[in-house]
A and B are shown apart, each in its own frame.
Chain A
Amino acid sequence: MPGAISPAAAQGSQGAPAPLGVMLSVNGVEQRLALDPRTTLLDALREHLHLTGTKKGCDHGQCGACTVIVDGRRINSCLTLAVMHEGDSVTTIEGLGTPENLHPMQAAFIKHDGYQCGYCTPGQICSSVAVLDEIKGGIPSHATADLTAPVQLSETEIRERMSGNICRCGAYPNIVEAITEVAGRQG
Protein backbone atom coordinates (compact mmCIF):
# COMPACT_ATOMS: atom_id res chain seq x y z
CA MET A 1 0.00 0.00 0.00
CA PRO A 2 1.44 3.40 -0.89
CA GLY A 3 2.13 5.66 2.06
CA ALA A 4 1.52 9.38 2.30
CA ILE A 5 1.69 11.27 -0.96
CA SER A 6 2.58 14.87 -0.27
CA PRO A 7 0.13 17.34 -1.81
CA ALA A 8 2.96 19.25 -3.50
CA ALA A 9 4.59 16.18 -5.03
CA ALA A 10 1.25 14.85 -6.23
CA GLN A 11 0.25 18.02 -8.04
CA GLY A 12 0.66 17.58 -11.78
CA SER A 13 0.85 20.27 -14.42
CA GLN A 14 -2.12 22.58 -15.14
CA GLY A 15 -3.47 22.05 -11.61
CA ALA A 16 -4.67 18.53 -12.37
CA PRO A 17 -3.59 16.05 -9.72
CA ALA A 18 -1.02 13.47 -10.78
CA PRO A 19 -2.46 10.02 -11.55
CA LEU A 20 -2.43 7.43 -8.79
CA GLY A 21 -1.93 3.71 -9.29
CA VAL A 22 -4.60 1.26 -8.19
CA MET A 23 -5.04 -2.47 -8.67
CA LEU A 24 -8.57 -3.84 -8.92
CA SER A 25 -9.69 -7.39 -9.56
CA VAL A 26 -12.60 -6.94 -11.95
CA ASN A 27 -14.65 -10.01 -12.83
CA GLY A 28 -11.67 -12.14 -11.84
CA VAL A 29 -9.09 -10.24 -13.91
CA GLU A 30 -6.39 -8.11 -12.26
CA GLN A 31 -6.45 -4.60 -13.64
CA ARG A 32 -3.74 -2.03 -12.95
CA LEU A 33 -4.84 1.52 -13.60
CA ALA A 34 -3.31 4.99 -13.22
CA LEU A 35 -6.16 7.35 -12.42
CA ASP A 36 -6.90 10.94 -11.56
CA PRO A 37 -7.93 10.54 -7.90
CA ARG A 38 -11.32 12.08 -8.78
CA THR A 39 -12.23 9.02 -10.86
CA THR A 40 -15.18 7.17 -9.37
CA LEU A 41 -15.26 3.38 -9.46
CA LEU A 42 -18.10 3.76 -11.99
CA ASP A 43 -16.00 5.89 -14.35
CA ALA A 44 -13.02 3.58 -13.93
CA LEU A 45 -15.18 0.64 -15.03
CA ARG A 46 -16.87 2.42 -17.92
CA GLU A 47 -14.27 4.84 -19.26
CA HIS A 48 -11.01 3.06 -18.44
CA LEU A 49 -11.92 -0.64 -18.56
CA HIS A 50 -14.70 -0.16 -21.15
CA LEU A 51 -17.10 -2.29 -19.12
CA THR A 52 -20.16 -0.30 -20.11
CA GLY A 53 -22.72 -2.72 -18.69
CA THR A 54 -22.66 -0.75 -15.44
CA LYS A 55 -24.76 2.33 -16.09
CA LYS A 56 -24.54 5.96 -15.00
CA GLY A 57 -27.99 7.19 -14.09
CA CYS A 58 -28.13 10.00 -11.54
CA ASP A 59 -24.42 9.80 -10.51
CA HIS A 60 -25.53 10.67 -6.95
CA GLY A 61 -26.51 7.34 -5.35
CA GLN A 62 -30.22 7.90 -5.82
CA CYS A 63 -31.08 5.55 -8.70
CA GLY A 64 -28.96 2.39 -8.30
CA ALA A 65 -28.15 1.99 -12.03
CA CYS A 66 -24.44 1.88 -11.10
CA THR A 67 -24.79 -0.96 -8.56
CA VAL A 68 -21.85 -3.39 -8.60
CA ILE A 69 -20.71 -6.03 -6.12
CA VAL A 70 -17.45 -5.26 -4.30
CA ASP A 71 -15.98 -7.96 -2.06
CA GLY A 72 -19.38 -9.64 -2.02
CA ARG A 73 -21.43 -6.53 -1.21
CA ARG A 74 -23.50 -4.34 -3.50
CA ILE A 75 -22.58 -0.68 -3.55
CA ASN A 76 -23.22 2.41 -5.65
CA SER A 77 -20.10 2.60 -7.82
CA CYS A 78 -20.79 6.31 -8.48
CA LEU A 79 -20.29 7.24 -4.82
CA THR A 80 -16.87 5.77 -4.27
CA LEU A 81 -13.45 6.61 -5.67
CA ALA A 82 -11.60 3.92 -7.59
CA VAL A 83 -8.40 4.60 -5.62
CA MET A 84 -10.27 3.66 -2.43
CA HIS A 85 -10.53 0.06 -3.72
CA GLU A 86 -6.92 -1.07 -3.90
CA GLY A 87 -6.94 -4.89 -4.09
CA ASP A 88 -10.74 -5.18 -4.00
CA SER A 89 -12.73 -7.71 -6.05
CA VAL A 90 -15.37 -6.06 -8.23
CA THR A 91 -18.16 -7.98 -9.97
CA THR A 92 -20.11 -6.18 -12.68
CA ILE A 93 -22.97 -7.42 -14.82
CA GLU A 94 -20.37 -8.66 -17.34
CA GLY A 95 -18.92 -10.88 -14.61
CA LEU A 96 -22.23 -12.42 -13.58
CA GLY A 97 -23.08 -14.03 -16.91
CA THR A 98 -22.66 -13.87 -20.66
CA PRO A 99 -25.24 -14.03 -23.48
CA GLU A 100 -24.28 -17.68 -23.97
CA ASN A 101 -24.17 -18.51 -20.28
CA LEU A 102 -26.67 -16.37 -18.40
CA HIS A 103 -26.65 -15.99 -14.65
CA PRO A 104 -29.93 -17.45 -13.26
CA MET A 105 -31.02 -13.94 -12.30
CA GLN A 106 -30.44 -12.69 -15.85
CA ALA A 107 -32.47 -15.61 -17.23
CA ALA A 108 -35.28 -14.91 -14.77
CA PHE A 109 -35.39 -11.21 -15.70
CA ILE A 110 -35.80 -12.25 -19.36
CA LYS A 111 -38.42 -14.87 -18.54
CA HIS A 112 -40.50 -12.47 -16.42
CA ASP A 113 -39.93 -9.42 -18.61
CA GLY A 114 -38.29 -7.57 -15.70
CA TYR A 115 -37.47 -4.47 -17.74
CA GLN A 116 -38.68 -2.27 -20.53
CA CYS A 117 -35.92 0.09 -21.74
CA GLY A 118 -33.27 -1.95 -19.90
CA TYR A 119 -31.13 0.94 -18.66
CA CYS A 120 -31.55 0.14 -14.97
CA THR A 121 -31.36 -3.62 -15.53
CA PRO A 122 -27.64 -4.29 -14.88
CA GLY A 123 -27.97 -2.45 -11.56
CA GLN A 124 -31.23 -4.25 -10.78
CA ILE A 125 -29.63 -7.63 -11.45
CA CYS A 126 -26.42 -6.97 -9.48
CA SER A 127 -28.57 -5.69 -6.61
CA SER A 128 -30.93 -8.70 -6.79
CA VAL A 129 -28.08 -11.21 -6.65
CA ALA A 130 -26.64 -9.45 -3.60
CA VAL A 131 -30.08 -9.15 -1.95
CA LEU A 132 -30.52 -12.92 -1.96
CA ASP A 133 -27.07 -13.29 -0.38
CA GLU A 134 -28.02 -10.72 2.27
CA ILE A 135 -31.21 -12.60 3.13
CA LYS A 136 -29.28 -15.89 3.29
CA GLY A 137 -26.68 -14.18 5.47
CA GLY A 138 -29.40 -13.15 7.93
CA ILE A 139 -29.03 -9.41 7.39
CA PRO A 140 -32.31 -7.77 8.48
CA SER A 141 -34.15 -4.99 6.67
CA HIS A 142 -36.73 -2.35 7.51
CA ALA A 143 -39.36 -4.91 6.47
CA THR A 144 -38.13 -7.59 8.88
CA ALA A 145 -40.84 -8.05 11.51
CA ASP A 146 -38.73 -9.63 14.25
CA LEU A 147 -35.07 -8.62 14.59
CA THR A 148 -34.28 -11.59 16.82
CA ALA A 149 -35.74 -14.26 14.48
CA PRO A 150 -34.22 -15.57 11.23
CA VAL A 151 -35.00 -13.36 8.21
CA GLN A 152 -37.85 -14.76 6.09
CA LEU A 153 -38.02 -14.26 2.36
CA SER A 154 -41.15 -12.45 1.22
CA GLU A 155 -42.31 -10.03 -1.44
CA THR A 156 -42.29 -7.25 1.16
CA GLU A 157 -38.65 -8.03 2.00
CA ILE A 158 -37.65 -8.01 -1.68
CA ARG A 159 -39.43 -4.73 -2.38
CA GLU A 160 -37.88 -2.98 0.62
CA ARG A 161 -34.39 -4.29 -0.15
CA MET A 162 -34.64 -3.23 -3.81
CA SER A 163 -35.73 0.35 -2.98
CA GLY A 164 -32.32 1.70 -4.01
CA ASN A 165 -32.88 0.59 -7.61
CA ILE A 166 -35.27 2.83 -9.48
CA CYS A 167 -37.01 1.64 -12.69
CA ARG A 168 -38.68 4.56 -14.44
CA CYS A 169 -40.41 2.17 -16.86
CA GLY A 170 -42.09 0.67 -13.79
CA ALA A 171 -41.20 -2.98 -14.31
CA TYR A 172 -41.29 -3.55 -10.54
CA PRO A 173 -43.92 -6.33 -10.41
CA ASN A 174 -41.97 -8.38 -12.96
CA ILE A 175 -38.65 -7.68 -11.24
CA VAL A 176 -40.13 -8.98 -7.97
CA GLU A 177 -41.39 -12.11 -9.79
CA ALA A 178 -37.95 -12.76 -11.27
CA ILE A 179 -36.19 -12.40 -7.91
CA THR A 180 -38.83 -14.51 -6.16
CA GLU A 181 -38.36 -17.31 -8.68
CA VAL A 182 -34.58 -17.36 -8.28
CA ALA A 183 -34.92 -17.22 -4.50
CA GLY A 184 -37.29 -20.19 -4.60
CA ARG A 185 -34.87 -22.22 -6.70
CA GLN A 186 -32.04 -21.47 -4.29
CA GLY A 187 -34.30 -22.70 -1.47
Chain B
Amino acid sequence: MKPFTYERANSPAEAAAVAQTPGAKFIAGGTNLLDLMKLQIAAPTHLVDVNSLSLDKIEPTPDGGLRVGALVRNTDLAADERVRRDYGVLSRALLAGATGQLRNRATTAGNLLQRTRCPYFYDTAQPCNKREPGSGCSALDGVSRQLAVIGSSEACIATNPSDMAVAMRALDAQIETIKPDATSRSIPIAEFHRLPGDTPHIETVLDPGELITAVALPKPAGGKQIYRKVRDRASYAFALISVAAIVQKDGTGRVALGGVAHKPWRVEAAEPELPRGARATTAALLDGARPTRDNAFKLPLVERALAAVLAEARA
Protein backbone atom coordinates (compact mmCIF):
# COMPACT_ATOMS: atom_id res chain seq x y z
CA MET B 1 0.00 0.00 0.00
CA LYS B 2 1.07 3.59 -0.64
CA PRO B 3 1.57 5.58 2.57
CA PHE B 4 -1.40 7.45 3.98
CA THR B 5 -2.30 9.30 7.11
CA TYR B 6 -5.26 8.26 9.21
CA GLU B 7 -7.79 9.90 11.46
CA ARG B 8 -11.00 8.95 13.22
CA ALA B 9 -13.88 11.27 12.48
CA ASN B 10 -15.92 12.64 15.36
CA SER B 11 -19.02 13.81 13.50
CA PRO B 12 -20.51 13.37 10.00
CA ALA B 13 -20.08 17.08 9.23
CA GLU B 14 -16.44 17.05 10.32
CA ALA B 15 -15.78 13.88 8.31
CA ALA B 16 -17.27 15.46 5.18
CA ALA B 17 -15.26 18.66 5.64
CA VAL B 18 -11.97 16.72 5.99
CA ALA B 19 -12.72 14.31 3.16
CA GLN B 20 -13.23 17.02 0.53
CA THR B 21 -9.42 17.45 0.49
CA PRO B 22 -8.01 15.86 -2.69
CA GLY B 23 -6.54 12.43 -1.89
CA ALA B 24 -8.74 11.85 1.16
CA LYS B 25 -11.17 8.93 1.37
CA PHE B 26 -13.66 7.60 3.89
CA ILE B 27 -13.09 4.13 5.26
CA ALA B 28 -15.81 2.08 6.99
CA GLY B 29 -15.79 -1.70 6.42
CA GLY B 30 -12.74 -1.40 4.20
CA THR B 31 -13.45 -4.73 2.50
CA ASN B 32 -13.31 -3.22 -1.00
CA LEU B 33 -11.10 -0.16 -0.42
CA LEU B 34 -8.22 -2.04 1.25
CA ASP B 35 -8.30 -4.67 -1.48
CA LEU B 36 -7.90 -1.88 -4.05
CA MET B 37 -5.24 -0.10 -1.97
CA LYS B 38 -3.11 -3.24 -1.78
CA LEU B 39 -3.18 -3.40 -5.58
CA GLN B 40 -2.52 0.36 -5.76
CA ILE B 41 -5.67 0.80 -7.82
CA ALA B 42 -6.75 3.14 -5.05
CA ALA B 43 -4.03 5.20 -3.40
CA PRO B 44 -5.59 7.66 -0.96
CA THR B 45 -3.15 9.89 0.93
CA HIS B 46 -5.48 10.33 3.90
CA LEU B 47 -8.11 7.99 5.38
CA VAL B 48 -11.04 9.27 7.40
CA ASP B 49 -12.33 6.39 9.54
CA VAL B 50 -16.07 6.88 9.99
CA ASN B 51 -16.71 3.72 12.02
CA SER B 52 -17.27 5.53 15.30
CA LEU B 53 -19.95 7.86 13.91
CA SER B 54 -23.27 6.69 15.32
CA LEU B 55 -24.79 5.76 11.98
CA ASP B 56 -25.47 2.11 12.77
CA LYS B 57 -29.19 2.07 13.63
CA ILE B 58 -32.22 0.86 11.69
CA GLU B 59 -35.17 3.05 12.65
CA PRO B 60 -38.79 3.44 11.55
CA THR B 61 -39.58 6.58 9.56
CA PRO B 62 -42.73 8.70 10.04
CA ASP B 63 -44.14 7.51 6.67
CA GLY B 64 -43.99 3.85 7.67
CA GLY B 65 -40.63 3.00 6.12
CA LEU B 66 -37.21 2.26 7.56
CA ARG B 67 -34.13 4.43 7.80
CA VAL B 68 -30.97 2.33 7.58
CA GLY B 69 -27.84 3.99 8.97
CA ALA B 70 -24.86 4.14 6.63
CA LEU B 71 -22.78 1.98 8.96
CA VAL B 72 -25.30 -0.84 9.44
CA ARG B 73 -23.35 -3.96 8.52
CA ASN B 74 -24.67 -6.13 5.70
CA THR B 75 -25.20 -9.01 8.17
CA ASP B 76 -27.33 -6.86 10.47
CA LEU B 77 -29.41 -5.38 7.67
CA ALA B 78 -30.12 -8.83 6.21
CA ALA B 79 -30.98 -10.25 9.64
CA ASP B 80 -33.21 -7.40 10.85
CA GLU B 81 -36.69 -8.80 11.53
CA ARG B 82 -38.48 -5.89 9.86
CA VAL B 83 -36.32 -6.20 6.75
CA ARG B 84 -36.88 -9.97 6.58
CA ARG B 85 -40.64 -9.51 6.92
CA ASP B 86 -41.32 -6.36 4.87
CA TYR B 87 -38.33 -6.01 2.51
CA GLY B 88 -37.53 -9.66 1.79
CA VAL B 89 -35.93 -8.85 -1.55
CA LEU B 90 -33.32 -6.77 0.29
CA SER B 91 -32.49 -9.51 2.82
CA ARG B 92 -32.21 -12.02 0.00
CA ALA B 93 -29.97 -9.79 -2.11
CA LEU B 94 -27.61 -9.14 0.80
CA LEU B 95 -27.39 -12.84 1.67
CA ALA B 96 -26.65 -13.68 -1.97
CA GLY B 97 -23.54 -11.48 -1.86
CA ALA B 98 -20.03 -12.07 -0.53
CA THR B 99 -19.35 -14.30 2.51
CA GLY B 100 -20.24 -14.31 6.19
CA GLN B 101 -16.88 -12.74 7.05
CA LEU B 102 -17.28 -9.93 4.51
CA ARG B 103 -20.92 -9.22 5.36
CA ASN B 104 -19.92 -8.83 9.02
CA ARG B 105 -17.71 -5.86 8.07
CA ALA B 106 -19.24 -4.44 4.89
CA THR B 107 -21.55 -1.48 5.46
CA THR B 108 -24.71 -0.25 3.77
CA ALA B 109 -23.05 2.89 2.38
CA GLY B 110 -19.86 1.07 1.42
CA ASN B 111 -21.84 -1.53 -0.50
CA LEU B 112 -23.42 1.27 -2.58
CA LEU B 113 -19.95 2.65 -3.34
CA GLN B 114 -18.12 -0.57 -4.16
CA ARG B 115 -16.14 -0.57 -7.38
CA THR B 116 -16.56 -2.79 -10.41
CA ARG B 117 -14.90 -6.23 -10.59
CA CYS B 118 -14.13 -5.83 -14.31
CA PRO B 119 -10.88 -7.83 -14.72
CA TYR B 120 -9.24 -4.96 -16.62
CA PHE B 121 -9.99 -2.48 -13.83
CA TYR B 122 -8.05 -4.84 -11.56
CA ASP B 123 -5.19 -5.50 -14.00
CA THR B 124 -2.90 -2.49 -13.60
CA ALA B 125 -0.83 -3.60 -16.63
CA GLN B 126 -3.81 -2.96 -18.95
CA PRO B 127 -5.44 0.29 -20.02
CA CYS B 128 -8.71 1.11 -18.23
CA ASN B 129 -10.64 4.35 -18.52
CA LYS B 130 -12.15 3.84 -15.09
CA ARG B 131 -8.80 3.37 -13.36
CA GLU B 132 -6.83 5.76 -15.57
CA PRO B 133 -9.12 8.16 -17.44
CA GLY B 134 -8.24 8.43 -21.12
CA SER B 135 -6.08 5.29 -21.24
CA GLY B 136 -8.64 3.22 -23.17
CA CYS B 137 -10.89 0.24 -22.49
CA SER B 138 -9.29 -3.21 -22.68
CA ALA B 139 -12.60 -4.97 -22.12
CA LEU B 140 -14.21 -3.88 -25.41
CA ASP B 141 -12.09 -6.37 -27.36
CA GLY B 142 -11.16 -8.48 -24.35
CA VAL B 143 -12.72 -11.11 -22.14
CA SER B 144 -16.13 -9.63 -21.44
CA ARG B 145 -18.24 -12.55 -20.26
CA GLN B 146 -19.03 -10.84 -16.93
CA LEU B 147 -19.52 -7.34 -18.33
CA ALA B 148 -22.34 -4.99 -19.28
CA VAL B 149 -24.86 -5.56 -22.04
CA ILE B 150 -26.77 -2.28 -21.79
CA GLY B 151 -26.11 1.36 -20.93
CA SER B 152 -22.42 0.91 -21.68
CA SER B 153 -20.26 3.20 -23.81
CA GLU B 154 -17.20 3.09 -26.05
CA ALA B 155 -15.22 4.10 -22.97
CA CYS B 156 -16.42 1.43 -20.52
CA ILE B 157 -18.48 -1.77 -20.33
CA ALA B 158 -17.99 -2.43 -16.61
CA THR B 159 -20.86 -3.54 -14.38
CA ASN B 160 -21.85 -2.47 -10.90
CA PRO B 161 -21.15 -5.53 -8.70
CA SER B 162 -23.65 -4.90 -5.88
CA ASP B 163 -26.54 -7.23 -5.11
CA MET B 164 -27.89 -4.97 -2.35
CA ALA B 165 -28.22 -1.97 -4.67
CA VAL B 166 -30.35 -3.96 -7.14
CA ALA B 167 -32.89 -4.72 -4.41
CA MET B 168 -32.79 -1.12 -3.21
CA ARG B 169 -33.48 0.05 -6.77
CA ALA B 170 -36.59 -2.15 -6.88
CA LEU B 171 -37.60 -0.74 -3.47
CA ASP B 172 -37.12 2.92 -4.56
CA ALA B 173 -34.67 3.67 -1.75
CA GLN B 174 -33.46 7.21 -1.06
CA ILE B 175 -29.83 7.89 -0.20
CA GLU B 176 -29.32 10.54 2.47
CA THR B 177 -26.07 12.49 2.59
CA ILE B 178 -24.27 15.36 4.27
CA LYS B 179 -21.97 17.68 2.31
CA PRO B 180 -18.80 19.45 3.44
CA ASP B 181 -20.81 22.68 3.89
CA ALA B 182 -23.04 20.73 6.36
CA THR B 183 -26.10 20.79 4.08
CA SER B 184 -27.86 17.49 3.56
CA ARG B 185 -29.80 16.02 0.67
CA SER B 186 -31.73 12.91 -0.28
CA ILE B 187 -30.93 11.25 -3.63
CA PRO B 188 -33.31 8.72 -5.25
CA ILE B 189 -31.31 5.56 -5.93
CA ALA B 190 -32.35 5.79 -9.60
CA GLU B 191 -30.20 8.91 -9.86
CA PHE B 192 -27.38 7.86 -7.54
CA HIS B 193 -25.23 5.71 -9.85
CA ARG B 194 -24.15 7.11 -13.23
CA LEU B 195 -23.85 5.44 -16.59
CA PRO B 196 -20.24 5.41 -17.82
CA GLY B 197 -20.53 7.76 -20.83
CA ASP B 198 -17.07 9.21 -21.44
CA THR B 199 -16.33 9.62 -17.70
CA PRO B 200 -16.52 6.05 -16.32
CA HIS B 201 -14.25 6.99 -13.40
CA ILE B 202 -17.12 9.06 -11.96
CA GLU B 203 -19.53 6.41 -10.69
CA THR B 204 -22.01 8.31 -8.52
CA VAL B 205 -23.47 11.81 -8.25
CA LEU B 206 -21.79 12.40 -4.88
CA ASP B 207 -19.72 15.59 -4.56
CA PRO B 208 -16.17 15.48 -3.16
CA GLY B 209 -16.41 14.91 0.60
CA GLU B 210 -20.14 14.17 0.51
CA LEU B 211 -20.87 11.45 3.09
CA ILE B 212 -23.74 8.97 2.95
CA THR B 213 -25.48 9.01 6.34
CA ALA B 214 -28.42 6.66 5.70
CA VAL B 215 -30.57 4.86 3.18
CA ALA B 216 -34.32 5.39 3.57
CA LEU B 217 -36.68 2.64 2.46
CA PRO B 218 -40.26 3.73 1.65
CA LYS B 219 -43.16 2.01 3.35
CA PRO B 220 -43.32 -1.72 2.50
CA ALA B 221 -44.42 -2.51 -1.06
CA GLY B 222 -45.98 -5.86 -0.10
CA GLY B 223 -46.24 -8.56 -2.77
CA LYS B 224 -43.92 -11.48 -3.26
CA GLN B 225 -40.34 -10.30 -3.01
CA ILE B 226 -37.76 -12.41 -4.80
CA TYR B 227 -34.05 -12.05 -5.57
CA ARG B 228 -32.66 -14.56 -8.03
CA LYS B 229 -28.95 -14.51 -8.73
CA VAL B 230 -27.24 -16.54 -11.45
CA ARG B 231 -23.51 -17.04 -10.98
CA ASP B 232 -20.66 -19.38 -11.85
CA ARG B 233 -20.47 -20.91 -8.34
CA ALA B 234 -23.21 -21.80 -5.88
CA SER B 235 -21.84 -19.31 -3.35
CA TYR B 236 -19.41 -16.41 -3.10
CA ALA B 237 -19.37 -15.23 -6.71
CA PHE B 238 -20.51 -12.05 -8.40
CA ALA B 239 -23.67 -12.19 -10.46
CA LEU B 240 -23.64 -12.99 -14.15
CA ILE B 241 -27.14 -11.57 -13.94
CA SER B 242 -29.59 -11.12 -11.10
CA VAL B 243 -33.27 -10.26 -10.85
CA ALA B 244 -34.87 -8.36 -7.96
CA ALA B 245 -38.62 -8.47 -8.21
CA ILE B 246 -41.67 -7.40 -6.24
CA VAL B 247 -44.74 -9.06 -7.72
CA GLN B 248 -48.30 -8.36 -6.55
CA LYS B 249 -51.18 -10.88 -6.60
CA ASP B 250 -52.62 -9.35 -9.78
CA GLY B 251 -49.31 -9.90 -11.59
CA THR B 252 -48.22 -6.27 -11.60
CA GLY B 253 -44.95 -5.33 -10.00
CA ARG B 254 -41.43 -4.00 -10.27
CA VAL B 255 -38.22 -5.53 -11.46
CA ALA B 256 -34.55 -4.48 -11.36
CA LEU B 257 -31.56 -6.29 -12.82
CA GLY B 258 -28.00 -6.74 -11.62
CA GLY B 259 -24.92 -7.76 -13.60
CA VAL B 260 -26.08 -6.16 -16.85
CA ALA B 261 -25.09 -2.49 -16.55
CA HIS B 262 -22.95 0.14 -14.86
CA LYS B 263 -25.80 0.67 -12.40
CA PRO B 264 -28.72 -1.37 -11.07
CA TRP B 265 -30.92 -1.61 -14.17
CA ARG B 266 -34.59 -0.76 -13.89
CA VAL B 267 -36.88 0.53 -16.61
CA GLU B 268 -40.20 1.60 -15.10
CA ALA B 269 -41.76 1.76 -18.59
CA ALA B 270 -41.16 -1.99 -18.97
CA GLU B 271 -43.08 -2.92 -15.82
CA PRO B 272 -46.63 -2.73 -17.27
CA GLU B 273 -45.51 -5.75 -19.36
CA LEU B 274 -45.01 -7.91 -16.23
CA PRO B 275 -48.50 -9.49 -16.27
CA ARG B 276 -47.80 -10.55 -19.87
CA GLY B 277 -44.74 -12.50 -18.81
CA ALA B 278 -40.97 -12.64 -18.95
CA ARG B 279 -40.52 -12.38 -22.71
CA ALA B 280 -42.42 -9.13 -23.15
CA THR B 281 -40.93 -7.62 -20.00
CA THR B 282 -37.35 -8.54 -20.88
CA ALA B 283 -37.75 -7.20 -24.41
CA ALA B 284 -38.75 -3.83 -22.96
CA LEU B 285 -36.18 -3.93 -20.12
CA LEU B 286 -33.24 -4.70 -22.39
CA ASP B 287 -34.36 -2.71 -25.43
CA GLY B 288 -31.23 -1.17 -26.94
CA ALA B 289 -28.86 -3.73 -25.41
CA ARG B 290 -25.46 -3.95 -27.07
CA PRO B 291 -23.89 -7.16 -25.77
CA THR B 292 -20.45 -8.40 -26.80
CA ARG B 293 -19.91 -11.79 -28.42
CA ASP B 294 -18.82 -13.08 -24.97
CA ASN B 295 -21.84 -11.92 -23.02
CA ALA B 296 -24.76 -12.09 -25.46
CA PHE B 297 -25.92 -15.09 -23.40
CA LYS B 298 -27.01 -12.65 -20.69
CA LEU B 299 -30.07 -11.56 -22.69
CA PRO B 300 -31.80 -14.96 -22.81
CA LEU B 301 -30.49 -15.64 -19.29
CA VAL B 302 -32.34 -12.57 -17.98
CA GLU B 303 -35.53 -13.73 -19.68
CA ARG B 304 -35.29 -17.22 -18.23
CA ALA B 305 -34.39 -16.00 -14.74
CA LEU B 306 -37.31 -13.57 -14.84
CA ALA B 307 -39.63 -16.39 -16.03
CA ALA B 308 -38.49 -18.46 -13.02
CA VAL B 309 -39.08 -15.52 -10.69
CA LEU B 310 -42.60 -14.91 -12.05
CA ALA B 311 -43.41 -18.62 -11.73
CA GLU B 312 -42.17 -18.57 -8.11
CA ALA B 313 -44.28 -15.49 -7.42
CA ARG B 314 -47.42 -17.23 -8.76
CA ALA B 315 -46.75 -20.44 -6.82
Contact = CB atoms under 8 A, between A and B. Distances in A.
B4 A38 contact: yes
Interface string B64-108: 000000000001001100001100100110011011111011000
Nearest to B39: A60
B46 interface: yes
Interface stretch (A25-33, A92-100, A136-144, A169-177): A136-144
B3 A80 contact: no
B153 interface: no
Contacts of B29: 80
B167 to A, nearest CB: 13
Contacts of B234: 160, 163
B183 interface: no
Per DSSP, chain B at the interface is mixed
A184 interface: no
A17 B4 contact: yes
A187 interface: no
Given A2-B8, A61-B35, A76 B84 contact: no
A84 B34 CA distance: 12
B198 interface: no
A51 B96 CA distance: 33
Given A64-B99, A142-B95, A74 B104 contact: yes
A37 B99 contact: no
Interface string B239-259: 000000000000000000000
A34 interface: no
A10 B5 contact: yes
28 contacts: A3-B10, A5-B5, A7-B45, A7-B46, A15-B3, A16-B3, A17-B4, A17-B5, A17-B6, A61-B35, A73-B104, A74-B100, A74-B104, A76-B102, A76-B105, A79-B30, A80-B29, A80-B30, A81-B6, A83-B6, A86-B8, A130-B100, A147-B88, A147-B91, A148-B85, A159-B235, A160-B235, A163-B236
